[in-house]
A and B are shown apart, each in its own frame.
Chain A
Amino acid sequence: MPGSEGAGEELFPESCFALALRGSWTLAWGLESHPEILRGPNTKMEVFQTLQRLHMTIFSQSVSPCGKFLAAGNNYGQIAVFSLSAALSSEAKEESKKPVVTFQAHDGPVYSMVSTDRHLLSAGDGEVKAWLWAEILKKGCKELWRRQPPYRTSLEVPEINALLLVPKENSLILAGGDCQLHAMDLETGAFTRALRGHTDYIHCLALRERSPEVLSGGEDGAVRLWDLRTAKEVQTIEVYKHEECSRPHNGRWIGCLATDSDWMVCGGGPALTLWHLRSSTPTTIFPMRAPQKHVTFYQDLILSAGQGRCVNQWQLSGELKAQVPGSSPGLLSLSLNQQPAAPECKVLTAAGNSCRVDVFTNLGYRAFSLSF
């Protein structure tokens, strides 16, 4: 067995040392599932990389404007770009399921990413950075610009949990730990407005196209609608106050939001519910016990994913149409590639508490997984 307890000491962090001393070397590292580590001479680097992949969480995904590439951001601050067209083609090999390029984008986790028609915007540790899609595939890609919204104190650097593009105004909305929504103009890079109203940090954003209004949901359990032109809060829906959907044992946090101009679906601590925005009434409660972390409207269905392996497909009437298991024990983000330029890459990708991104070509089953 490579490395007795004495010789391999520099490999073991303190917390694993006790377990290792008792001889359960593999348990200490969770390496039972990686037998290749236990055979043959392995460098520190390989062990480190395997461990990284074991403890990786992918928080965000974004599809390129041409539709052929998918970027995924993880908790180590790395962004990996996968080639969907190569992985979906008929002569795909194992290497096509690996990233084309991986680079260190942020110092902290990359919680959120969006794509404009030329740039990839990523945010996580209090800053938002922009990368050119055309340059991203080359090694040693540098960010185009980085901006930090004006925080109230210079000491705190709150994380940015959600990014939202408002195409009509060419602006970007950021929201996160400082309980405010910051609007940034993409041309000038200046921060135009700060919308205050939430009393706790904000998890998710959604754009209501018709008005146009922005919906934000946060830890304080309220979904607030903001009118961008007047920069005022137009409507507040306190989800946890409605008996039908509140689940006090889970908390009142709103983890995910999606809107369809007249309707909104939100979930998290309270049950996943469909709301009619004009009358602020909950119309359908989806019977899902696990809190959902990402939800989206698709054609006549609502797709949701959260704690639990499966991507759930709901009909608006509240029936569960299908539950398709993925490969990660929990899912944090879903992404539908609906770019018109690449109809052959029209897939649903799901990622979460593992280093893998599941690709569903047909909503009924998981085709394969891309891996960091």
Chain B
Amino acid sequence: MGAVTDGGIPRIGIMESKDEVIRKRLLIDGDGAGDDRRINLLVKSFIKWCNSGSQEEGYSQYQRMLSTLSQCEFSMGKTLLVYDMNLREMENYEKIYKEIECSIAGAHEKIAECKKQILQAKRIRKNRQEYDALAKVIQHHPDRHETLKELEALGKELEHLSHIKESVEDKLELRRKQFHVLLSTIHELQQTLENDEKLSEVEEAQETSMEADPKP
């Protein structure tokens, strides 16, 4: 990737400034800034090693190439691990996402349940308040037991009084009858006495008339 020319900098265009170059470079190979360059260096050093003359230089070049290679392998391994990690993170997130969905559904149900409970509680409260309102009114009226007791007492008094009245009336009747008897006896006596008087007057009158009339 990237045109390789001397110095490792691809020849883009004569008109572009250094900034453009840097920007483009960053865009192309932003992340592993060293990787692309490392591979280019490796290729160059390989060519150099092929063309090298002495044994030592060749050997050191060879070592250097091996180390560059291992560096590349290392970074590749790292990237693979990161990729693996990302996959597993995705799975993890999927799992969490599903769990959250379930709990949202559960929460919705709970909310519906609670709403029903609120309605129920409101109904209960309303009933209680109605009860209280009626109870207040009822409190104003006197207690039934006491009223009943008062009624009983009054009843008893009434009975008692009516007994007394009866007995008094009986007495009155008796006395009235006795008086009546007394008075009628007196009357009879009077009558008898008068009758006697009249009889004796009549007898006297007869006697005098007989005396005045003896010479016919």
Contacts and interface: CB of A to CB of B under 8 A. Distances in A.
Contacts of A281: 137
B137 A316 contact: no
A315 B129 contact: yes
A276 interface: yes
A284 B125 CA distance: 16
A317 B129 contact: yes
B194 interface: no
Contact of A317 (B122, B123, B132, B137): B132
B116 to A, nearest CB: 13
Nearest to A318: B133
Interface in B122-178: 122-123, 125-126, 129-130, 132-134, 136-137
B12 interface: no
A285 to B, nearest CB: 11
Contacts of B122: 299-300
Nearest to B131: A316
Interface in A257-305: 262-263, 274, 276, 279, 281, 283-284, 299-300
A276 B134 contact: yes
B119 A283 contact: no
Interface residues of A, number: 13
- Describe B's contact surface by its main secondary structure: helix
Interface string B168-200: 000000000000000000000000000000000
Nearest to B129: A316
A245 to B, nearest CB: 13
A283 B136 contact: yes
A322 to B, nearest CB: 15
B126 A262 contact: no
Contacts of A317: 129, 132-133
B130 A263 contact: yes
A275 to B, nearest CB: 10
A78 to B, nearest CB: 38
B115 to A, nearest CB: 11
Contact of B119 (A262, A274, A279, A299): A299
B107 to A, nearest CB: 18
A305 to B, nearest CB: 20
A316 B133 contact: yes
A299 B137 CA distance: 23
Interface of B: 119, 122-123, 125-126, 129-130, 132-134, 136-137
21 contacts: A262-B130, A263-B130, A274-B133, A276-B133, A276-B134, A276-B137, A283-B133, A283-B137, A284-B133, A299-B122, A299-B123, A299-B126, A300-B122, A300-B125, A300-B126, A315-B129, A316-B129, A316-B133, A317-B129, A317-B132, A317-B133
Given A276-B134, A281-B137, A284-B133, 10 more contacts: A262-B130, A283-B133, A283-B134, A283-B136, A283-B137, A299-B119, A316-B126, A316-B129, A316-B132, A317-B133
